[in-house]
Structure 1
C-alpha cells in the first residue's frame, strides 16, 4: 500500500513539473509574438509565392520609394537625383513660408502612424533615417509631378538609368495629366492608400458606371505656385503620395465599386474566345476605359473595354494583383478581370480574334507572347470569394450549351477550321448532293 502511494506521488510530481514546463514554454512562445498589424496597415512585401513566378516584376529597376527597397545598392545612383528634386522643392516651398523645420516636425509627429502603414516593422531604421527617407521620397514625387504638370521635361538624368521614367511614376503622372486636362474626378485622400492603390483606382474608375464615392478637385490652377499650395495644404503630400494615407478602420464602409453578379460564385470553366465566337458570340469593343465595364447582352454580344499590352504591362498588372491579394482579397477586381481573360485566351488564335475585334491592342509584337503573358498572370493567384464576373461566365457557358449554338460551333471547329478544310467540306457536301440527285434521277428514270 505504501509503495503504491509513493508511486502515485511521484507520478503527480512528474505531471506537475511537466505541466509547469509546458506552460512556461507556451507563455514564452506567445510573449515572443510581434504586435498584430495595425488597422492602418496597407503596404506589404509581395508574397513569396508570387515573387517566385516573376521576381523582376516586383523589383524596382530605377528608383526606390519607401522602406521596402531602401538602401539597395542597385538603386543608389538615383538617390542624388532625388535630393536635387528635394532641394528645388524646398526652394519653392520657402516662397510660401513653408520651412524645412515644419516638414520635419510634421513627419516626426506622424512617424508612428506612418510606420503602422507597413506590414513590417523596420526596426533597423532609426527615427532620423526614417523621417529623412519620407521627406526625400515625398518631395521627389511631388516635385516630379509639378514639373510634368507645367510641361517641363522631368530630367535628362533619368535617361542614363532607363529608357523611360519608372513605369509606376510614368503611369501615375499620365493618369493625373489626363484627369486634370479632362476635369475628371480624382479620389479623395481616404479612398487611396498609396501609389499602387492609386493606379488601381485609375484602372477601376474611368467611367460613370465604375465611379465610387469620389470628389472633384475643384478650381485647379496650372500655375505652379497655386498647385504647390494646393498640394501642400489640401491633399497632404506626405500622406497621399507615399502610402501614408490612413486606411479606413474596421467597420467603416469602403468606397468600393459594386458589380452585378454573385461574388461567391466559384468559376471552374469558361469556353475560349474562339469557341464562343464559333458558337455565335459576337465580340465588341467598349468605348469605356474601365476594365470592369464588361456586358453580355441577350443577342449574344460580349462587350469589353480595350486592353492594351505593353512591355511594362506584366509588371504593372502583377503589382496591382499583388496588392489585391494582400489588401483586397474579397474585392479583387483586377484579379477577377485577369481571370476572365485567362479563360478567354488559351491559344494564339484567341489573341488573334480579340486583336481583330480591337479588344486587345498588342504592342508586344507577337501574339504568342501576348497569350503567354495573360496565361501566366493568374499563376499563384488565390480566389477568396468567387469571381465578380460569375454571372457573365454562366451566361456565356449557357449560350454555348444551347444545342444549335453548340452544333454551329462544332461544325465550324471540325469542318471549317481553315480555308482548305472548309473548301474540302464544301466540295464533299456538293459531291454528296450531286450523288443524291443522280440517284433520285436514276430511280425516276426506271
Structure 2
C-alpha cells in the first residue's frame, strides 16, 4: 500500500476565485533584477518563500527562544498554539501566490508557529521597552533591531495580518504597556527577572490618529482613560475587537518613516500584511478607499522637470497641511493682482515633504512590487514615483526641491537621490495615472511662451528687493532721459 504523503506545494491556481485570495507574491523578476537585496531578507525569514536558506538559519534559535517567551506571556503551551495554527493552515496557504518548494505540512505549520510567535513577542517586548532591562540581543542592538524591522516589511517575507490578529486574540498575551493603551490598568509579565509593577517611564513616540486613536508622547501617569476609550470606539462602535496589536505594530515600525501616518483613519480590516500597512501609511483616506482612480495613460503622463516649470513661473511649496499624505499633489492658481489682469496669474504646486533615507529604496520598492501585484488599477505609490521621476531629470532638480523643502535629503548626495528616484520608476507598469489632469494643466502652462518670458523677466529684473529697486530706478532714469530728449528735440527753448 502506497504511503500517503501530506505535503505542501503552492501552485498557480486554475480557479481565478482562489487567485483573488492571494496577497503575498514573489516580486516580479523585472523589479527584482534591478536590486536583488531590496527584496531579499538579510537576517530573518518569515513565511515559506525564504524558509530554509542557509544564510538565515542563524536566527532560528532566536525564534525558538521567542516562542518559549511568548508561551510564558500567554500561559498557553506550544501544543495549544500549534493546534491553533493547524486549524488555520488552509487560510494561510491561500494567501501565498506562485510556487514554493514542497515540504511536509507538519513542517509548514511549525514554521508558521515559530514565525508568528516571533513577530508577536517582538512587538510586545518592544512596546514595553523591557529589553533594556533584559538580555535581549536583538532589540538592545540598534543596527540589528532596525535590520529586523526592514526584513519584516519585505513583500516576500510576510504573514497575513488577519491571522496574526486571530492568534493574538487567541493567545491573549499580557504586557505592561499602560501609556500605549491609554489605560490605568496595567498587567505585568511573568518574567523571572522583571520587577513587579514596573511601568513604562521612557518617552515612546507614536504615529498619531490610528483608527481615531490620538497618539501623543507618553507620560509616566495615566491621562483620562475614559476619554481615550471613548475616542477609540468612535470610528466603529459595533466593532468590539481589540486593536492593541495594530497599535503596537505602528509603534514598532514608526521610526522607519518618521512622520508618516499622522492623523490617519482607516479600517484595520483592510490591512493585508506589514508591506500593505506601509502603503496605508503613505495614502490618504480618499486614496485608501479607492475614490481616486485616475485616467488612462496618454500624453498627460509626461511632465516637464521642476526647474523648467519654475522658470515658467510655477511656484513649488511644501504642503501647509502637516497631516497630508505622501501622494497628495495640489495645484492652485495664484492671482497677485486680483482678476483685473488675468495674464499675470501663476500656478502654485503643493507637495508634502518627503524624507529620503537609506532604507527608502527598500521600503518603497517593496510597496511598488505590492501594487504591481495586488493593486494594478490603484497603483498610487507607483503614480507618485512616476510623477517624481518626471519632476526630477537632473541633480539640479533635486537641489531645487531640497531648497524648497519638498525633499529632505538624508543621504547627503543629491546625485544619489536623483539616481534613486529614477531607479524606482524603472520598469513600473501602470494602467491609470491619478495625476494626469494636473500634469496636463502644468504642461499647458509651461508651453504658453508668455509665461516663460514673464517668469524670465521677473527672475532677471525683480528677483529680490535690491534687483527690483535697481530696475525701478533704471526705468525712472530712462523715462527721465527720454522725456528730456523729446523736450529738447520738439520743444526747444527760444
TM-score (norm 2): 0.64
Matched, 1:190 2:269: yes
- Cα deviation, residue 402, structure 1: 3.0
Q: Is the 8 A contact 1:264 1:387 kept in 2?
A: yes
Cα distance change, pair 412–65 in 1 and its aligned pair in 2 (3 A): farther
Unaligned stretches of 5+ residues in structure 2: 1-10, 155-179, 181-203, 217-231, 233-262, 335-346
Structure-2 residue corresponding to 1:164: 146
Larger of the two Rg values belongs to structure: 1
Structure-1 residue corresponding to 2:437: 391
Partner deviation per Cα, 1:26-82 (whole Å, 9 max, x = no partner): xxxxxx986445321111101111111111111111211111111111111111112
Structure-1 separation of matches of 2:22 and 2:291: 23
Question: Structure 1 stretches (4+) deviating beyond 6 angstroms?
Answer: 169-176, 436-441
Structure-1 residue corresponding to 2:102: 124
Q: What SS does the corresponding residue of 2:408 show, helix, strand or coil?
A: strand
Q: What SS does the corresponding residue of 1:164 show, helix, strand or coil?
A: helix
Decide which of 370, 377, 380 is 2:424's aligned counterpart.
377
Q: Is the 8 A contact 1:115 1:121 kept in 2?
A: no
Unaligned stretches of 5+ residues in structure 1: 1-31, 213-255
Decide which of 271, 295, 305 is 2:304's aligned counterpart.
271
Which of the pair is proportionally richer in helix?
A: 1
Structure-1 separation of matches of 2:290 and 2:12: 36
Q: What SS does the corresponding residue of 1:67 show, helix, strand or coil?
A: coil
- Cα deviation, residue 394, structure 1: 1.4
Partner deviation per Cα, 1:119-166 (whole Å, 9 max, x = no partner): 124351211111111111111111111112212338323639747342
Structure-1 separation of matches of 2:267 and 2:206: 14
Alignment of 1:104-123 (within 5 A): 104-122=82-100
Q: Is the 8 A contact 1:289 1:306 kept in 2?
A: no
Structure-1 residue corresponding to 2:116: 138
Matched, 1:151 2:184: no
- Cα deviation, residue 401, structure 1: 2.5
Q: Is the 8 A contact 1:167 1:312 kept in 2?
A: no
Structure-2 separation of matches of 1:171 and 1:412: 48
Cα distance change, pair 126–177 in 1 and its aligned pair in 2 (3 A): farther
Structure-1 residue corresponding to 2:331: 296
Q: What SS does the corresponding residue of 2:146 show, helix, strand or coil?
A: coil
Structure-2 residue corresponding to 1:401: 447
Cα distance change, pair 33–319 in 1 and its aligned pair in 2 (3 A): closer
Matched, 1:87 2:87: no
Cα distance change, pair 263–33 in 1 and its aligned pair in 2 (3 A): closer
Cα distance change, pair 41–57 in 1 and its aligned pair in 2 (3 A): same
Structure-2 separation of matches of 1:69 and 1:153: 28
- Cα deviation, residue 190, structure 1: 3.0
Higher RCO, Cα 8 Å, sep 6+: 1
Matched, 1:362 2:362: no
- Cα deviation, residue 177, structure 1: 5.7
Structure-1 separation of matches of 2:402 and 2:50: 38
